[in-house]
Amino acid sequence: MHYFQYRDNELYAEDVPVREIAAKVGTPVYVYSQTTLERHFKAFTEAFSGAPHTICYSVKANSNQAVLKTFIKMGGGVDIVSGGELSRALKAGVDPKKVVYSGVGKRDDEIEYALNTGILMFNVESEQEIDRLNEVAGRVGKKAGIAIRVNPDVDPQTHPYITTGLKKAKFGITMEHAVAEYKRASEMPNLEILGIDCHIGSQLTKVEPFVDSIKKLKELITELRGMGIELKYLDLGGGLGIQYDAEAPPLPADYGKAIKEETKDLGLHLIFEPGRNIAGNAGILVAKTLFTKERDEKHFIVIDAAMNDLARPSLYGSFHGVQPVVKDQDGLIGADIVGPICETGDFLVKDRQIPMFKQNDLMAFMSAGAYGFTMSSNYNSRPRAAEVMVNGDKFEVIRERESVEDLVRGESLPSWLA
């Protein structure tokens, strides 16, 4: 459930008319419902009541500090994939011992930063990373807690670009090599083996791939214990999907029941890294119609948001529902919703029956709270959108809209052109 609903044909974010936000802040603008964020986080953590667990929200889904702070105040940790994400989370007040660091390409300076911060553990993605972590930890006089990310070769049945658990993916270490790498890491003086990690993909709509992965991991855990390698944590990543269109993903309660049943005898502390499942339906992107045009019976709605603001449709062919902010349109029309960018791929909706938006009409792209702003860019020198958080009947800007001056900040002319 989310808190974007109509009242008398007008879209509200909690108790605030979306039209009022657009009038004050301008468009395009991302709008987040704090109540929805809290409700989704609570539903996820309650799904694992009775089992020792930590929810480490995936910062890459939505990294605004107000969003991070919302989860941190509820006892959450974070899953990060860069030094920048670690800095954001620390500024938002995260407990370093609730930070796990994933990602295939950690730089030395990022590793040092995380070690000096005292994070819980690194999810290690390759053989060479094990060596580098041991080397850097020794250099700074720290011991690096690690979990090896194991690639179980399970098909998550999702978009190939967000599938991460197959052998052909760049992520993790294969099951066949994991035992040898655990043994090698256990002999390194500056590493402490804490757990095992697995993340098979994003936007999964079935429980079975998660369960299949755990079954494979249990065999590996048994083998490691037989070698004297004891683990404390089982990090199962994220990936539980949401409804964008006609998907029917399992509820967190059903997901939790299945996972708890499959892991109940392991005696391990569970770590989860949800992102989309918590933030996705807690946000919308609001845009304004600039022009409408017709060409050879093809209809286009040109708006002030573009692929640089919401990349998922052009990148993945993803579906985002679109709704009028005020319902006063005259029926439906088959059309594309496109932005001002000079690319044929600049579309947010393609060949869909949508309301007959008129010039200056406001529209909301639904389920945009995850991988919306975080994937945005300045392509075509377009300032990035503002972000707003709503709580009940009040709202505040939590990130100002970029200015054209922001676009050239840090640039300079070489001496021969000055």
Catalytic positions, written as ranges: 342
Residue 112 sits at φ, ψ, to 5 deg, of -60, -45
Asked if residue 152 has a cis previous peptide bond (ω within 30° of 0), the answer is no
Residue 342: C-alpha distances to residues 307, 346, 384, 385 (Å): 10, 7, 17, 18
- In a 3-state reduction of DSSP, which class is residue 303? strand
CB atoms within 10 A of CB 191: 22
Residue 64: C-alpha distances to residues 89, 314, 400 (Å): 9, 23, 11
Residue 296: C-alpha distances to residues 118, 354, 358, 374, 378 (Å): 62, 18, 19, 37, 32
- Helix axis angle, 175-186 to 127-140, nearest 10°: 20
Torsion of Cα atoms, 72 then 74 then 76 then 82, to 10°: -20
Q: Give the position of tokens 């496109």.
A: 338
DSSP secondary structure string for all residues of 184-205: HHHT-TTEEEEEEE---BSSB-
